[in-house]
Structure 1
Amino acid sequence: MSQELVRAVTAAVRHAGTRLLNRYSTAARQPGLPELLADLHANDLTVVDVLEPALAEALPEARWLNDEHGSGPLPDGAWWLIDPVGGNLNAVHGMTDWNIGVSLVRDGRPVLAVLYFPLLDEMFTATAGGGSFLNGVPIRVSDKQALDGALTGTGQAQPGTTATLADRTGAAYAAMAKAALYVRISVPVSHQLAQVAAGRMDLHWQFDNVRAHAAGVLLVLEAGGTVTDLDGQPWDITSDSYLAAAPGLHAAALDILTT
């Protein structure tokens, strides 16, 4: 992966973040659902208007997919997967957990990840085989070996949920809460994956994998984390679920989540 491409993508994402900050306000309040949906859409367009032409110029052969909730396999070749505003619902309510995410997937495997937290000016990057970085400084997952000191988390990847998935998530929370120091349930998922990569959190699991998680997953993998599906097989973009964890905690967490 060329550093020129990494620089081009991070510059585009930073530009999009600056534009989004101009729209963002901690005092944002919508009177109803129509206004809320309009703000969500406007935020997405603010980012897409910057990223789509910039990424097309950076790598013309890669196809574009605005893929916030998409799942399943991709055709071979290079794809830009974009989550314009991860945590957009937080952003339009004046909360702080939101980001801009881009991943480049080649033949079904993520090879480049850029995740930007504009409010903190934190730029997470990773390349396949090249490590994970925060503002240019290498990051590593935590070295914890026991769940009793672990900060863990999960979230809801897609709007709405089935009763079965809600019950499964609740049962998993109860089980993990009995073993771990703390369980955080929040969105965006990409925020939590970045924190796992940086060693600020220790593990994150999902029962609903979507392709836009590829950026966060690559960050964890390149930071030395272990990412598998809940059968213990290596993560794939088509996996139904996954666990991303510090290596010393993965086996114990997987046992909890599968029993």
Structure 2
Amino acid sequence: MSVEPTSSPGGPDPAAMAMEILARQLTETVTAAGGIALAMFQSGVKSWTKGNNSPVTEADMAVDAFLHRHLTALDPGIGWLSEESADGPARLGVERLWVVDPIDGTRGFMAGGHDWAVSVALVELGRPILAALYAPASDEMFTAVAGRGAARNGVPLEVAPRRGLDGAKVAGPAAEIDLLSRRAAVEPLPRIRSLALRLARVATGEIDIAFAAGNSNDWDLAAADLIVHEAHGLLTTREGTPLTYNAPEPRHPPLICAGPALHAALVGAVPQTPFFNASPDTQ
């Protein structure tokens, strides 16, 4: 990730330079973590089920430990929230927080698919300001810095300019897509098991509309949220409310993600469109 430092009359902006360094360190760390995950993906790993009936693998734990060791060393004052680490109230008192999903899309990982990723965001006062999302199996690195844009493998990203629902490419829970299909001639896409990757592909323009059911957490969303935002898209609740991170309960209601015109059409349809009231599927 390359961030151009902002110039001031006295020279480069120190805050911008510090962010440039941190962005580079984050990208390097997430790339290395992805390498660990990919090696374990290729060799096979043990898996088990957590208390919430979701799967976890040795790779999840190994990547989580690697990221925790390296990211917390960058600045001990930055807090920590990860899917695979014990949570606690200490994070609520920090201004900045690493939000981590060591392997987003563990079911895809276990099934031998390519739709999984390492997801890390730096959240400041409730919103992501720095993100790296790496899909090792397809070698795609998505990066974003607040106010500086988003990129995939160094190429700037922009959401698709589509304005109408007809023909829109849609991904998400089947029940959501089926109900939307009753209203418009949309094109359903195969399910991407990593929610972060599903959202990031709105930023690339490969997907026009992405849905998320009401069981996603901060670590599923924060990095992709910034990537979408910096590609001039929107990720919000179905009422159009932006997401806030690092709340006591880091869980979110059903969500929609799209470019501005499609997003406005979907939010405006909430009162009269039944698909928004569908029972949540998995993510």
Is TM (by shorter chain) over 0.5? yes
Contact 1:56 1:62 in 2 (8 A): yes
**Which of 126, 131, 146 is matched with 1:128 structurally?**
146
Which structure shows the bigger proportion of residues in helix conformation? 1
Paired positions, count = 237
Partner of 2:257: 244
1:67-102 Cα shifts (integer Å, max 9, x gaps): 3698xx944411111100011111122111111000
CA contact (8 A) 2:115 2:192 kept: no
Indicate the residue corresponding to 1:159 in structure 2: none
Contact 1:76 1:108 in 2 (8 A): no
- State the partner residue of 1:115: 133
Given candidates 193, 198, 211, the residue that maps to 1:192 is 198
Aligned residue type for 2:198: Q
Which residue of 2 is the match for residue 218 of structure 1?
A: 226
Partner SS state of residue 40, structure 1: strand
AA at the equivalent of 1:91: F
Please point out which of 72, 76, 101 is paired with 1:56. 72
Percent identical pairs in the alignment equals: 32
Distance 1:176 1:78, change over 3 A: same
Which of the pair has more CA radius of gyration? 2
Q: Which amino acid aligns with 2:177?
A: Y
The answer to whether the aligner puts 1:86 opposite 2:104 as a matched pair is yes
Which is further off, 224-233 or 210-219? 224-233
Counterpart-to-counterpart distance in 1, 2:57 and 2:193: 18
The Cα of 1:240 is off from its aligned counterpart by 2.2
Separation of aligned partners in 2, 1:226 and 1:99: 21
Is 1:233 aligned to 2:241, yes or no? yes
Q: Secondary structure at the match of 1:49?
A: helix
Is residue 16 of structure 1 aligned with residue 16 of structure 2?
no
1:177 and 1:240, CA in 2 relative to 1: closer, same or farther beyond 3 A? Answer: same
Cα distance between partner residues in 1 of 2:225 and 2:270: 18
TM-superposition CA deviations, 1:124-149 (whole Å, max 9, x none): 01111111111122110000111112
Cα gap change, 1:257/1:153 in structure 2, threshold over 3 Å: closer, same or farther? Answer: farther
Gaps of 5+ in 1: 156-168
Distance 1:64 1:236, change over 3 A: closer
Which residue of 169, 184, 188 corresponds with 1:183? 188
* 1:219 CA displacement: 0.7
2:177 is the counterpart of 1:173: yes
Please state whether the residue corresponding to 1:24 is helix, strand or coil: helix
Query: d(CA) in 2 for partners of 1:188 and 1:84?
Result: 12
What TM-score results when the alignment is normalised by the length of structure 1? 0.82
Q: 1:127 to 1:68 in 2, by over 3 A?
A: farther
Q: Which TM-score applies when normalising by structure 2? A: 0.76
Q: CA deviation at 1:105?
A: 0.8
Task: Give me the CA root mean square deviation.
Answer: 2.5
